[in-house]
Copies of this chain bind each other. A is one copy, B any other.
Amino acid sequence: MEKKIINLGIFGFGCVGQGLYEVLSKTKGINARVRKICIKHPDKQRPIDSSYFTTDQHEILDDPSIDVVVELINDTEAAFQIVSTALRNGKAVVSASKRMIAENLRSLYDLQQLHRMPLLYEGACCASIPVIRNLEEYYDNDLLNGVEGICNGSTNYILSKIFEEHQDFSSALSRAQELGFAESDPSLDIEGFDPKFKICILLLHAFGTFVKPAEVMNFGISRLNDFDISFARQRGCTIKLIAKCRKQNGNVVTYVLPHLVPRSHLLSDVQNEYNGILVESTFAENQFFVGKGAGGTATGSAVLSDISALTYNYRYEYKKIGQSNPLSLTQNLQLKIYLRYTEAGQVDLEDFDSLSEKYESSENRYVVGLINLSRLREASWLKNPGVNILVMD
């Protein structure tokens, strides 16, 4: 494998872009240099020389001397257009746009096959944790059963502050935003969309199945109240927002839901902006990866690893696609959940297969019971902001 010098064209110079620039300028050993950075607002004060910047994307996309396009912008549609044009123009691409990638996995896969150009996106899943690379390279032959974990740094930061430091939700959220852990639209984090994009990407690398984010249930932590928090504490648990995919009778099931996690569980120790991913396989059994899941340099270091991998001609092989019978998505999974509500009639308990606990007071009610994911996903009562759920298994 020959090592080459590569010229980078970067789109976006926000938190991650600047993190990358910083990582790149302090790291010897990598044969890559930044040639151009395409930005939206030319008048903004920038920490580096203005000759680097352009607002014209063609100065990067049509420049034959640029080998690698690094796409780090927030606009999903524009990002897809940039990435697909770059691949078509024979450029390798590194991207950290989880939403854009998750929503366009099939097209991006096809574009890579058609133009035989690599697209790497380790920074899009769990920032600094090399989880895609490990699923691609290391678990290609072991019998993988499931991948699950905490893959949103912002909500995990909020939950840590609530559980470890008794802070309230909104001040923890503001602090996460100040620290640059939160998405610009915080609902992407706290409603569980961001981890859903990530689990859709991981699902493809784990099982070779293409799943649209819209097909996957997500429910976040925005409705968490003091009653829920005491309930978790009383049971010796913390609460974590968990994204999960696993094999299930020849199909694959996936969702993002808040979970009650016992204090003895590995995931309960993943604190603040850290992410943690559990990979379960038949022979290697449980593997657990923990690392920073948010912040400019954590994501920047993942983007840099992808750039470095390109200097060695690395590309995702997507080995699971076509390796065995493709697994289809199923919503048929029984979950044990805690359902908290305020008034009788606010929820339809008939949707449950069985109930094991029921609590009523003048202010709060809850049940614990078994419900099928397909039912839960379609339950209209779940839209009521006075209702919250936590998975208990």
* A residues lining the B interface (CB < 8 Å): 1, 19, 23, 26-30, 128-130, 133-134, 137-143, 266, 269, 274, 276, 281-292, 297-298, 300-302, 304-305, 308-309, 312, 317, 319, 323-324
Contact = CB atoms under 8 A, between A and B. Distances in A.
A282 B24 CA distance: 12
Contacts of A138: 130, 133, 305
Contact of A141 (B30, B128, B291, B297): B30
Contact of A23 (B134, B142, B301): B142
Nearest to A276: B288
B129 A287 contact: yes
B283 A304 contact: yes
Contact of A297 (B28, B283, B301, B317): B283
Given A269-B269, A287-B129, A324 B142 contact: no
B290 A285 contact: no
A308 B285 CA distance: 18
Given A283-B300, A283-B301, A289 B292 contact: no
27 contacts: A23-B142, A26-B282, A27-B142, A27-B143, A28-B323, A29-B140, A29-B324, A128-B284, A128-B285, A128-B287, A129-B287, A133-B134, A134-B134, A137-B309, A138-B305, A140-B305, A141-B305, A281-B301, A283-B298, A283-B304, A284-B298, A285-B291, A285-B297, A287-B289, A288-B289, A288-B290, A290-B290
A284 B269 contact: no
Nearest to A309: B137
Given A130-B134, A134-B134, A289-B289, A141 B27 contact: yes
Contacts of A23: 142, 283
A288 B285 contact: no
Contacts of A308: 140-141
Contacts of A309: 137
A127 B297 CA distance: 30
Nearest to A315: B1
Q: Which of A142, A288, A297, A323 has the most CB of B within 10 A?
A: A142
Contacts of A323: 28-29
A301 B302 CA distance: 26
Contacts of A289: 287-290
A4 to B, nearest CB: 14
Nearest to A292: B285
